Amino acid sequence: MQTRNKMFDDISQLMTNAMGVAQGAREEAETAMKSLVDRWLADRDFVTREEFDAVRSMAQKAREENEALRARLDALEAKE
């Protein structure tokens, strides 16, 4: 009976260790894949969401300024 418990303990310990190794391999694979994707994206000159939003805001402001200037120009031309 004692031998059986020792054998089950050894198998249990072996399985626990195998799960730890598998977990470590999974984490390493995730890190490698994330690094690969980050490098690929950097090579494609994609912009971040923050950069996109900043440029969109600048374009909207420029559009509004153009509309205001056009209205002033139209008003000045109407006076002549």
pLDDT in tens, 24-73: 899 999 999 999 998 888 888 888 899 999 999 999 999 999 999 999 99
What is the structure's pLDDT at 36? 93
Averaged over 10-24, what is the pLDDT?
A: 88
What CA–CA distance (Å, rounded) separates 50 from 48?
Answer: 5
- 8 pLDDT higher than 70: yes
Angle subtended at Cα 36 by Cα 33 and Cα 38, rounded to the nearest 5 degrees:
110
What is the structure's pLDDT at 48? 86
